[in-house]
Structure 1
Amino acid sequence: MSEGPWSFFQDLIVIMQETKGMDEPRSLNFNEVSFWVQCHNVPLSFSNKNILENIGAHIGLVEEVDQGESGSYLGSHIRIQVRLDIRKPLNKFVCVGVEDEEDVFILLTYERIPNLCYRCGVIGHSFRTCGEASEKNDKLKYGIWMKS
């Protein structure tokens, strides 16, 4: 179950949680998957594990914050592993309010994201097959730039 997310021909393979043998199949959760999210434009003053976990909590359930090779949370981006509900649209950014300063927009890119709809932001289908009503001239709200 480690080193995911797993996909096959750009379709996400949702791996359920470990079972205890007597669990009923309908009690298992197939709606959440762990992804590594790259956070770009993170101010140097935010390079603290607690602050980064707080940022990650705006994305999903935080599982890990990558310290990188230097062990100091510094670099071109910060990586946070989060568990996401794949039925909901992905976040494109996180807005963090800083006291006496302008809000900081932290841009997000997702590692190994398969089959993302650029219209609604949900994993599992493409914008061509999206059920969300729209005009052909609609601008897509999401894009390839969300994948890293």
Structure 2
Amino acid sequence: MEDLEHMCSEGPWSMDGAFLFLERWRPNLVMNRLHLNFVSIWVQLHGLPLEYQYPELAERMGHMIGAFEKIDWEDRLPQNIRFIRVKVRLNPWMPVVSGFMLRLDDGTRTWIQCRYEKVHKLCTKCSPIRHTRSQCSESMDEVKRILIRQRHWIQRLH
């Protein structure tokens, strides 16, 4: 039973380009009432200067992407310096954050790119993780409304 608990908590997995999520069985669970409202995904944060690679900043950036859950961080050498990984909970029906500008101590800004692990279906038009651009049926007006709603959500948080 402990192995199943570990499997359920360490996902998601990708099979043939599709997500596989496990959820613990609950008594009286009706399958057509089961909705995927949030997913936990590892996100790589690329573009950080070395002196900005520390857990507290990574946690703050994780909160900008979604609900921060944890960081993949080891305070020993050798250490991965190409990117920092954070695990966040996202609403799969909303656009994902592709990146953001980080103001450095010298006043300049640098682009921090978010790369979502095991996400093979990411629409470059409307940005949810459920389909690709060639499968997208959203109008540009609807995409604008979704992005405005997403921006307001992020602004309320920060």
What are the superposed Cα offsets for residues 7-49 of structure 1, whole Å, 9 maximum, x if unpaired?
3332223444x46636777886512111111111112232221
Secondary structure of the structure 2 residue equivalent to 1:75:
coil
* Mapped partners of 1:126, 1:25: distance in 2: 27
Selected match of 1:126 from 102, 118, 132: 132
AA paired with 1:13? L
* Mapped partners of 2:12, 2:125: distance in 1: 22
Selected match of 1:102 from 105, 108, 122: 108
Selected match of 2:96 from 65, 90, 101: 90
Q: What is the aligned-residue identity percentage?
A: 29
Structure 2: tracts of 5 or more residues without a match: 1-7, 141-158
Contact between 2:43 and 2:117, CA under 8 Å: does it hold in 1?
Answer: yes
Q: CA RMSD in A?
A: 2.8
Contact between 2:59 and 2:71, CA under 8 Å: does it hold in 1?
Answer: yes
More helix by share: 2
- TM-score norm. by structure 2 comes to 0.68
Contact between 1:47 and 1:74, CA under 8 Å: does it hold in 2?
Answer: no
Selected match of 1:36 from 17, 42, 50: 42
The residue number in structure 1 matching 2:10 is 3
CA shift in 2, pair 1:69/1:98, >3 Å: closer
CA shift in 2, pair 1:69/1:54, >3 Å: closer
- TM-score norm. by structure 1 comes to 0.72
- Give 1:128 deviation, angstroms: 1.7
Structure 1: tracts of 5 or more residues without a match: 135-148
Say whether residues 1:52 and 2:51 are aligned partners: no
